[in-house]
Amino acid sequence: MFPLPAPRSRFILPALFLAVTAAPCVHAAAPIDAATEVWTPVPPVINAPANGVPSDAIVLFDGKNLNEWEPLRPDAPGWKIEEGAMVVVPQPTPCDERTKRVFGDLQLHLEFREPAVVKGDGQSRGNSGVFFMGLYELQILDSVNNPTYVNGQAAAVYKEHAPLVNASRAPGEWQTYDVVFIAPRFAADGKLLSPARLTAFHNGVLVQHDVALTGPTPNGPTFHMATLPPYTAHAAKLPLSLQDHRSPVAFRNIWVRDLTLPGPAAQP
């Protein structure tokens, strides 16, 4: 008969636990690599209230007057204000409205409303547009159940880039565009250094992602060209304009922020 093993003490495991937990904790000091820390220049502080206008923005229309705007043609009557909105007054010979100020790189916010009563189809329904520097158009159109060429629907860079998605709201509802536009750069001899670029959100949805423009978007005499018009050197800053395309599209809450971005400086 073999002897039974001696019973283990019930105090061994707790004793080991206490010995382990009583040992001091040693942590290696985390190295601080100052070479990866940038302290200057310190970004300027602005006030950005919820659903409001940033403190460094230029308000182009707040529903009170059209002091920041002028007709493209001096003989035209200009647009009107109705219930705090800036409304296209269709003319027999269309006349856009443009800003009195000039801009290059900018961030733009605007709200627009297509006519509640639907008339026409395709490019004849609620057509307007935002022209950066008076040359580069982000299309405005009633694109709810309204087939047309996709690089001419709402939120298209006209004839150049179709939107990623159709985020249009129903006619009569207010919509928003939030856009970052980077002006083209030209050398002193007129050679193109870098094309215009555009990122846009339509009703909060990304519709254009840093697209490069091939040149001015076709409009007016260039509308029926077989090829898109090329770049021609122009001033570093030019007016922003809104299009009269014979439809009473309305606008409100328009503001811009002048941007100073890294990269080649724009030529004067």
The DSSP 8-state label assigned to residue 205 in this structure reads: E
Neighbours of 122 (CB within 10 A): 14
Is residue 131 in some structural domain?
A: yes
Is residue 170 in some structural domain?
A: yes
Say if residue 223's pLDDT is above 70. Answer: no
Say if residue 32's pLDDT is above 80. Answer: no
Q: Which residues contact 171 (CB under 8 A, 6 or more apart)?
A: 114, 115, 116, 117, 118, 126, 142, 144
Is residue 206 in some structural domain?
A: yes
pTM for the model stands at 0.84
d(CA 195, CA 182): 8
Smallest CA-to-CA distance from 241 within 98, 67, 86 is with 98
Give the chain's domain count.
1
Over residues 134-165, the pLDDT tens digits come to 999 999 999 999 999 999 999 999 999 999 99
Over residues 170-199, the pLDDT tens digits come to 999 999 999 999 999 999 999 999 999 999
Mean pLDDT of 36-48: 94
| Beta strand extents in the chain (DSSP E only) | 58-61, 69-71, 80-82, 85-87, 97-99, 106-113, 128-132, 136-140, 174-182, 185-186, 192-194, 197-202, 205-212, 241-242, 250-258
| CATH number, domain with residue 126 | 2.60.120.560
- CA 255 from centre of chain: 12
Say if residue 229's pLDDT is above 60. Answer: yes
The bridge status of strand 85-87 relative to strand 250-258 is antiparallel
- CA 46 from centre of chain: 19
Is residue 27 in some structural domain?
A: no
Domain assignment of residue 139, given as a range = 99-224+232-243+254-258
The band of 78, judged by pLDDT with boundaries at 50, 70 and 90, is: confident
Residue 77 has what pLDDT? 85
* Backbone φ and ψ of 50, nearest 5°: -60, 130
Is residue 28 in some structural domain?
A: no
Is residue 46 in some structural domain?
A: no
What amino acid occupies position 219?
N
Is residue 8 in some structural domain?
A: no
In the chain, which ranges are continuous DSSP H helix? 12-22
Is residue 80 in some structural domain?
A: no
Say if residue 12's pLDDT is above 50. Answer: no
